[in-house]
Structure 1
């Protein structure tokens, strides 16, 4: 019998990494063949430590889901950390993977790689065709570098070493395992926390950053995990029929978007907050619209399954179970 591949999930305790582990286990991957390390056990910004880990473990596949992430406030406040840590993590892992014979690697990026004024929905060819959104430019540049690392290793070593490193670019993710920090979280967990606290405190109103008019697309994290495993396991000839020559990245989206105002009302309803929702136009909106063109991945046999209404209920349940009692 052919043994199951040894799979390293970088960031296995994060929202996306833990969802990938859940999906792999559900598909029958033996738990003992899934490798993970906490930050305390392995600092991914330390090149020597990462190389030592790969030399010891020798994984067959790598899901690179580890990253420093956050919302508009966090990106604006810590730009140096966002670009430095993400560059170091991806460079160390991708190079160490190559040096230790890993042929299949999946890098997880972000929709913020595309220009601020990219045509909607955003297709893969929009990469590097315009100026990035200023509020998260350092993070976006780091993620673009990760895509180009994969493409460059494929270009230089793909044919001679048989490597095929791919990248998936998800839209805004949410769901179990999210970060509900009051300042550094993304929009859905931030809204869940604010409306929950407003409900408990019987606040008459909640003010939301920006005008409420920007449109955003949201993907449930378990759908993202399923897409990641699907892309990883696609045969090379089939995958590359749907990408341009030497391209490593493909979009992963839900296919529909909503305004921030619509989202806020939906979250308030799920949480049970009945007060007034106001908007603060003095705060930044970010990009006016970010909708992914996921037609290529759809053509490769994958579509999102979880609708926003049910997904928000699941996310709030996760918040109540894991965060509400431990702010």
Structure 2
């Protein structure tokens, strides 16, 4: 990407989008547009058309999405499917119409089949149904990948679709209803310490295994892929290393200083038994993550305490 190019980042108020905008500025890009939803509503075609007409972006990062944990996905499958699909339809159509040079459409590892062989390779996509607990979101992301492929085939659009594992880090929600698992656990254990609790009860059995990547590494990987002319259209973006949710909870418990007991509510769903990406393509291209899980947990705990001390964490 040229330093003077107009770069559009949608979803800039989110964890990945906010981190990307900061990274772009640090890399010397000065013509970054990162509109709030009130200025660019990807669910409304007229809003998207008007914005692209006015700003004429040359590179676009389509990161805006309706996201959440298991509970949120179960409660609102319509929203997770319809909203995410509409954002992709409008975003890609505008990129094609206004001649965007290259587009990054952020995918998700949740679209892999629930019975997928492990670790998950890109060619395993669409070989079976996704995990039922986040089916609406997964179906929207599956349709997004296919639509991107069709735009490339029919119009020659340059589109790269990174498939990240579980993302955490600076800018994540700590709202227990919307946060991802790692940030949710950070809040649970930090609050338990602050309130003097002697036990914390968590969903599931703790045996499910997940892979986690710090948002700084995710952003670095995205920029790496946007700069590579030989990057595949779909590529896994992760560390290739997974841990059980029980191990993750123990790491966070220890790092937070919690001294109590961890109980597991096995009546609640675990989701897929294991989700770990095969990142061979990414490694072959020359990219490796830099923030290990222990360091990332420490950073997340520091951020949570900082925000809580300043009254920026909702009850």
Same fold (TM over 0.5): yes
Correspondent of 1:221 among 215, 218, 236: 215
2:176 is paired with a residue whose SS is: coil
8 Å contact from structure 2 (residues 3, 28) kept in 1:
no
Aligned to 1:155: 153
Aligned to 2:271: 286
Deviation at 1:3, TM superposition (A): 5.8
- TM-score (ref. length: structure 2): 0.96
Give the length in aligned residue pairs: 311
User: Using the alignment, how far apart are the partners of 1:67 and 1:149 within structure 2?
Assistant: 16
2:177 is paired with a residue whose SS is: coil
Per-residue CA deviations over 1:171-211 (Å, capped at 9, x if unaligned) read 00000000111222110111111112111111110011000
User: Using the alignment, how far apart are the partners of 1:264 and 1:65 within structure 2?
Assistant: 28
Aligned to 2:82: 84
Per-residue CA deviations over 1:126-158 (Å, capped at 9, x if unaligned) read 110012100001100101111111111000010
2:146 is paired with a residue whose SS is: helix
User: Using the alignment, how far apart are the partners of 1:91 and 1:230 within structure 2?
Assistant: 25
8 Å contact from structure 1 (residues 79, 138) kept in 2:
yes
- What stretches of structure 1 move > 3 A for 4+ residues in a row? none
Task: Show the 5 A alignment for 1:100-249.
Answer: 100-158=98-156, 163-235=157-229, 238-239=230-231, 243=232, 248-249=233-234
Aligned to 2:286: 301
1:287 is paired with a residue whose SS is: coil
Q: Which runs of 5+ in 2 are unaligned?
A: none
Aligned to 1:22: 22
Per-residue CA deviations over 1:94-125 (Å, capped at 9, x if unaligned) read 10111111020000011001000111000000
1:61 aligns with 2:55: no
Correspondent of 1:72 among 70, 88, 97: 70
Per-residue CA deviations over 1:248-305 (Å, capped at 9, x if unaligned) read 2110011111000000011111222111111110000000000001110111111111
2:236 is paired with a residue whose SS is: strand
Aligned to 1:254: 239
Per-residue CA deviations over 1:215-244 (Å, capped at 9, x if unaligned) read 100000010000001111101xx22xxx4x
8 Å contact from structure 1 (residues 180, 323) kept in 2:
no
